[in-house]
Amino acid sequence: MINEESITAAAQLIHLSKYIVVFTGAGISTESGIADFRSPGGLWSRYNPSEYANYSAFLKHPEKFWKMHKELSETVFAAEPNLAHTTLASLEKDYKKVKTIITQNIDFLHLRAGNTKVLEIHGSGQTANCLSCQTEFQYTDIQKLLDEGQDVPRCNKCDGLIKPNVVLFGEQLPFEVLQQARDEVSAADLLIIIGSSLTIYPAATLPSMALSTGTKIIVINVEPTPIDNDADVVIHEKAGVVLPKILERFVHIQNGSST
């Protein structure tokens, strides 16, 4: 059962905040049908991510990586934003509350839902790059090569190895995007953390940064997270169920305070 007091407390924090930053992980997209690292029967229970989504493994056995990634990207391209994504878009567009989304996801569902400032700190599955000549490709063009039977897509200019623009284990995060994310967390007076186990670094240092500067924190995650004890509000429920309720309560509080 959803704890109504926590819903009200989260809505109050949103009402009182002027600069809200949201930090999301794979859990926000499970209700869109994209498995997180933990879902039983999901992609990651069949492909060990540290083996199949690892940069040095990609260079040695790109065909293994592409077998896994083809399946993942088919799921990602078929997925639609869920109520958690669309609620965050409404908190930006309709209520000017959410300033930035920092996401670990590569599924571009926040952009498709309508949020405009989205920092994709682990990259995006929408594009791919040639590792030799740096030519950028739309992922949908690479998908055609895979569908034609190529098991390792190659650059049409230099025959180099093509890699989706997603950060693999063992790769650096894009420096500029990570720096922007740190700046946004520093500017925030409220950080809402949704659907992340907070175990992947350096992404997981962002919530700790917020803690050290006294920024208010809301955690929405079905399982406990390492930051729960220090957060102002913790809700262990599905994001797509709980976020619309928080929005409704926030609108109620906002309307009440303006009359």
Q: Which residues are catalytic?
A: 122
Task: Among 85, 97, 122, 163, indicate the residue that binds ligand NAD (CB under 6 A).
Answer: 122
Q: Where do we find the tokens 């950028």?
A: 136
The residue sitting closest to ligand NAD, measured at its beta carbon, is 27
87 versus 196: smaller Cβ distance to ligand NAD:
196
Residue 44 Ramachandran class (φ > 0 left, ψ -120 to 50 alpha, else beta): alpha
CA distance 139 to 154: 13
CB of 43 to ligand NAD, least distance (A): 8
Binding to ligand NAD by CB under 6 A, coded x per residue (else -) over 23-52, reads --xxx-xxx--x-xxx--------------
Amino acid at 2: I
Task: Find the angle CA(38)-CA(41)-CA(47) to the nearest 5 degrees.
Answer: 75
- Is 106 near ligand NAD (CB under 6 A)? yes
- Binding of ligand NAD at residue 177 (CB under 6 A)? no
In contact, 251 and 97? CB cutoff 8 Å = no
CB 253 → ligand NAD: shortest distance, Å?
Answer: 23
Interaction with ligand NAD in 142-171: which residues (CB under 6 A)? none
Q: Of 87, 124, 165, 196, which lies in the binding site for ligand NAD, with binding defined by CB under 6 A?
A: 196
Report how far residue 248's alpha carbon sits from residue 190's, in angstroms, rounded to the nearest whole number: 18
Q: Among 86, 115, 129, 221, which residue sits at the site for ligand NAD (rule: CB under 6 A)?
A: 221
Of residues 189, 143, 219, the one with CA closest to residue 18:
189
